[in-house]
Amino acid sequence: MLALKNIGEFVGKWFALIVVAAGGIALATPDTFAGWGSAIPWLLTVIMLGMGMTLRPVDFAIIAKRPWAMILGIVAQYTVMPGLGWGIAHALNMSPVLTAGMILVGCAPGGTASNVMVFLAKGDTALSVAMTSVSTLLAPVLTPLLVLLLVGEDLPVSGSALFVSIVKIVLVPVILGLVLRLVFPKFVDRIIDTLPLISVAGITGVVLAVVAGSASTLTSVGLTIVVAVILHNIGGLTLGYTIGTLCGLPKSSSRAVSIEVGMQNSGLAAALATVHFAPAAALPAAIFSVWHNVSGSLLASYWSRRPLAEEQMFDSAQQESSV
């Protein structure tokens, strides 16, 4: 178990480079991984099970103690990123399939790596965990509705089918993981340090499958997709922080909202795109998987060197201890 923990820490530290390397390998030898597409939902299911095992009921206490910050963050999550995805895709005149992929990324809940980034950024970690958890639990309802609203005019899509997919891929494994944490706490505590390794392996597998399945599309419009994804992510980070600040949240909470809004569950977006649209629709999600970990790490490093004012740090500590 110690060896697995050390490996988990290593791959967590070099996650972005590992995923970039995986994408390069898949692009160079697409036939090797061309048959992996059907495994994407299963890979994400395992990742979501691991996320569920990291949760505790106390993680949701912030909803009652600080509902304003929680509501503001969730509203920003499900308005800023869907709107940006739709706007950027149309501004760059992307194809309907790639536009659907951009919108799916925007309509996904918060990414699981965001909590670590918020912690490193000296942000409000309790708010971050709560936002990731609640946005994930709301995804079966909000993600299909937003996709229908923003994609339905260009491509046929079934809201009920999206709902069922998200319930199976996200909701069921997350709840199962939470139950396992409650029923078998000692077992989960023994394996919890290995969960980052499982997550990295799962996302790497998703990237391999997506890039291999749409290598020809990526080589023809790759630069456009990369630019779109970078604009999408940076726009989310910037607007998330701006909204938190303008609405009176302390800096620690604004940092949390920024990272939560800007970092998406791109694995879910890739799975939904593959199942309900086409392999090419998963390309924005695959590239987002790489980029948002790079930008999130850079932003966390920048903020970590800029301490909060003493009174804000005290307030944040008080909030953490009350949760």
Amino acid 172 reads V
Query: How far is Cα 273 from Cα 204, in angstroms, rounded to an integer?
Result: 17
Query: How far is Cα 38 from Cα 16, in angstroms, rounded to an integer?
Result: 24
The helix/strand count (H/E) of the chain reads as 18, 0
Residue among 252, 263, 258 nearest 310 (CA): 252
- Measured CA to CA in angstroms, residue 257 lies from 113, 250, 263 at distances of 14, 11, 10
Q: What is the pLDDT of residues 72-104, one digit of tens each?
A: 999 999 999 999 999 999 999 998 999 999 999
Ramachandran class of 93: left when φ > 0, alpha when ψ lies in -120 to 50, beta otherwise: left
3-class SS shares of the chain: helix, strand, coil, % to 5: 85, 0, 15
CB 264 within 8 A of CB 111: yes
Q: What are the structure tokens assigned to 108, written together?
A: 């996904």
pLDDT of residue 143: 92
Cβ of 158: how many Cβ atoms within 10 Å?
14
Question: What CATH architecture applies to the domain 37-322?
Answer: Up-down Bundle (1.20)
Cβ of 172: how many Cβ atoms within 10 Å?
16
Q: Would you kindly state where each structural domain of the chain is located, as residue ranges?
A: 37-322
pTM across the whole model: 0.81
Which stretches of the chain score pLDDT less than 50? 310-323
3-state secondary structure of 94: coil
CB 282 within 8 A of CB 220: no
7 phi, psi to nearest 5 deg: -65, -40
Query: How far is Cα 284 from Cα 57, in angstroms, rounded to an integer?
Result: 33
